[in-house]
Structure 1
């Protein structure tokens, strides 16, 4: 990864797939259902695919935000290798413009700053995953659709290296593009915003029909699929929405496909709101389960029912989850209940010992810098970004603090010479007060507060300070209108 900052990321372009050359030097892009017709020197809706010399090009090939080590639960994937570490990569641009987007500073290309853009080759991505013992690469954050060419090239190399590819997307994508993804993507975690065509048009600027068709297409192709829906406060957090989405999942995919109802975090054009009340999420889960959906979960919540997995036959506890952490306690090697043998519909990868606890005395770190962070309000996860400035390997250590004054076991992270690495730390139990990151001389760090599991923060607390509970001190969206009241009116009139 090239960590060079402040280059103009829009200057370099690469040939794009799915082009149609039209008369007069015009091109049509067939990556999304928009089928943008683009004049010479212009860009399409996503702002990262354009016309250069009468040919379709991509402006974001190999360009994205910092790769981040996370857990697979971050991507609303609960039944494939619970607790598995993943390498998440996001890019620039999007085929949609959702009014509540929490990654709008990267999904909407006009807000992207050069300092936040990193440069990758497919080989570097695969090398990073292998070096850190990571078995799953996740294409995520803003939305992977607009990174099509880079994903195809990298995912192919990843599969050749024995890695698994996960695609976390709103899936506003053409059938032709899906056909190109199917040979290299193993897991599809798809955000279905709503079943309502009007909601899609007004809130996301897209349309729902190709999203539904795309989900069905990858499922019918035999790919692993999970579906999630963001329950926006007072807009899409009602029982009827839960009922319609559940019915579609049952009719088109089947009762075994996991369904997630995700808590909304106010942001972008819809910041004049509150997080989704948890009781509404619980009600949505009850509705789906009563209709026959077997695996229904809640996202962006802690300390509530709806995150663990129990056997639907004998009620034995199979997987415990807290925040973005998971532990398998009742599954056999085939993904079945170890108590009664009932098929719990899990895909497992087997034992993996990478990043195991290490034995260490605190006095051995006397020369290290300790960075301590305390969980507060709804801030229960953090991105730590570390940079080894030395010409030799360095080791960073991490542990967690608890209310009784005790600490967790140590975990370690080895950095290659001049390596920049970013990883998530998420609250793992109710009595945890926060983490400590211990840094040797020559390793710099930044900490970034994470507001929900799909959020990629671009500003660190060193730049903007620590938030007050759930209120980010980041300079907000400067649009002249707030969509929230408008959409409330739309829903009430429907």
Structure 2
């Protein structure tokens, strides 16, 4: 059995009523969530494959269904000016309103590739409970794209605000104004991926169109929300100087020079796996152009050990925040986001820091009872997701620490798990002399590790199942369809722009 070409798996069988529905006289429904305004016949699904017509009503097939919730840092979401280093709970779902040729999360964004083993089920209450239990203040709606998880986000984000939590929306923002109006009361931060300044690029690379994205960005900015913009610089397609100039000019003309802009390094994937990573010198050139045009806060993403990820005071050039990969440390900001040296406000929002949990040293435990695991960084693989599950009926603690050069180690850190809890968290390389990570797992804890190829990538395959990647460029399990999209796009996009 299938629904409009989507093989029926367990996750597709239950549905919930959907917002933004228009009932048509012939039994079809029109969905007003994305600018496609899909008209869906009975028993069929829309472009995203997760909104359907059942019995003449619009329903959502992915309510409460997504990938495993993951503890990360706010830098993962290309957000540098809201509480640097803050822990977040990242929540990704299934489906997408776009189909970008380079998608880093195609196994979940394109619903036809989703398998039941990759789907986890949550209630809004469970999400809030997990965040509070682990001392997390920010929920991040992210990965494939939150637009198609609309109803679940609205319900959960409302509860989150009632619990004193912050909501972050990381999106390509191919969304209608009606849907934005429903988001504005509950979303605090918008980190928006502006794919390009070219309408042809949008049409040919993303299958969408640029106009509603630009209007949506302006709408949330003028609503007073915290907004940051990121642009993926795809090798030989959008990593040129004209792209940097056009995007920078749009931000200056339509927003303001204090809006942070991130130029992000690309890794080959999906239908463009035969590409190469963006040359770093092109990213630096884009940053220089944006700064010379007048933007105050310009960063590079998906690179480590580079000063272009740090924050400096726009007035006196003092170092404000140091960053290495996805790790950040406030070294020059006061509690209100002003420079400690000259007092200039650098457009930072800060949250009051809570006390760190008291360290537990496992040397007082019977280490021989623990399973030991190690993972070593290699090339551009400088972060991993660790997924752990407490299979017992008692609370349990797992330990991890950083492996350094010269047989040195970082301090032990720990995560506490309640009975039957499954938890996923990121560990990212924090300094040049760091070699990897070591874990100590007590009896009753099952675990697996997943290689992360950049900050926007959610890996679904564990190295225990597929092994460690032989290269650091693109995931080991790749798209099996045609891989010739990349040279065709170079020719089409460049010809159109010329």
SS at match of 1:241: helix
For the structure 1 residues 362 and 243, does the alpha-carbon distance in structure 2 shift closer, same or farther, using more than 3 Å as the test? farther
Map 1:185-204 to 2 at 5 A.
185-204=187-206
From 124, 127, 130, the equivalent of 1:128 is 130
The C-alpha deviation readout for 1:390-442, integer Å capped at 9, x for no partner, is 00000001100111211111111000001000000000001100011110000
What count of residue pairs does the alignment treat as equivalent? Answer: 489
Q: Note the 1:395-434 alignment, pairs <5 A.
A: 395-434=397-436
Deviations 1:112-167 (A, max 9, x none): 00000000000000000000000000000000000000000000000000000000
What is the alpha-carbon distance in structure 2 between the residues aligned to residue 470 and residue 362 of structure 1? 38
Specify the alignment match of 1:176 in structure 2: 178
* Residue 304 of structure 1: aligned partner: 306
CA RMSD after TM alignment: 1.2
Q: Is the contact made by 1:100 and 1:271 (CA closer than 8 Å) also made in structure 2?
A: yes
Match of 2:56 among 47, 51, 54: 54
Residue aligning to 1:3: none
Superposed displacement of residue 475, structure 1:
3.1
CA distance in 2, matches of 1:274, 1:252: 33
> What is the CA deviation profile of residues 243-276 of structure 1, one whole-angstrom value per residue up to 9, with x for unaligned ones?
0000001111101010000000100001111110
1:7-58, Cα deviation, whole Å (9 max, x unpaired): 7100101100000000111100000000000000000000000100000000
Q: Note the residue ranges of structure 2 that are not aligned, 5 or more in a row.
A: 1-7
Matches within 5 A, 1:224-303: 224-303=226-305
Asked if the contact 2:387/2:448 (under 8 Å) is kept, the reply is yes
In structure 2, the residue corresponding to 1:436 is in which secondary structure?
strand
* Equivalence for 1:112: 114
Counterpart for residue 5 of structure 2: none
Matching residue of 1:442: 444
- 1:280-334, Cα deviation, whole Å (9 max, x unpaired): 0000000000000000000000122310011122221110000000000111111
**Residue in 2 that maps onto 1:23:** 25
Look up the SS of the partner of 1:201 in the other structure: helix
Contact 1:464 1:473 in 2 (8 A): no
TM-fit CA distance, 1:337: 0.4
Structure 1: any 5+ residue segments left out of the alignment? 1-5
1:206 aligned residue: 208
Which of 379, 382, 388 is equivalent to 2:381?
379
Answer yes or no: is the 8 Å Cα contact 2:273–2:483 preserved in 1. no
1:27-176 mapped onto 2 (5 Å cutoff): 27-176=29-178
Farther off after superposition, 237-246 or 343-352: 343-352
Counterpart-to-counterpart distance in 1, 2:142 and 2:273: 22
Which residue of structure 1 aligns with residue 456 of structure 2? 454
- In the other structure, the counterpart of 1:492 is 494
Q: What's the CA shift for 1:471? A: 4.4
Corresponding residue for 2:13? 11
Deviations 1:68-99 (A, max 9, x none): 00000000000000000000000000000000
- How has the CA–CA distance of structure 1 residues 466 and 27 changed in structure 2, closer, same or farther, with 3 Å as cutoff? same
Q: Is the 8 A contact 2:264 2:302 kept in 1?
A: yes
Q: Which secondary structure state, in structure 2, belongs to the residue aligned with residue 24 of structure 1?
A: coil
2: distance between equivalents of 1:362 and 1:408?
17
Cα distance per residue 1:349-384 (max 9 Å; x no partner): 012224454444377523211110000011000000
Q: TM-score, normalised by structure 1?
A: 0.97
- Distance change in 2, residues 1:36/1:293 (3 Å): same
- 1:249, 1:54 → 2: CA distance? 42
Contact 1:92 1:107 in 2 (8 A): yes
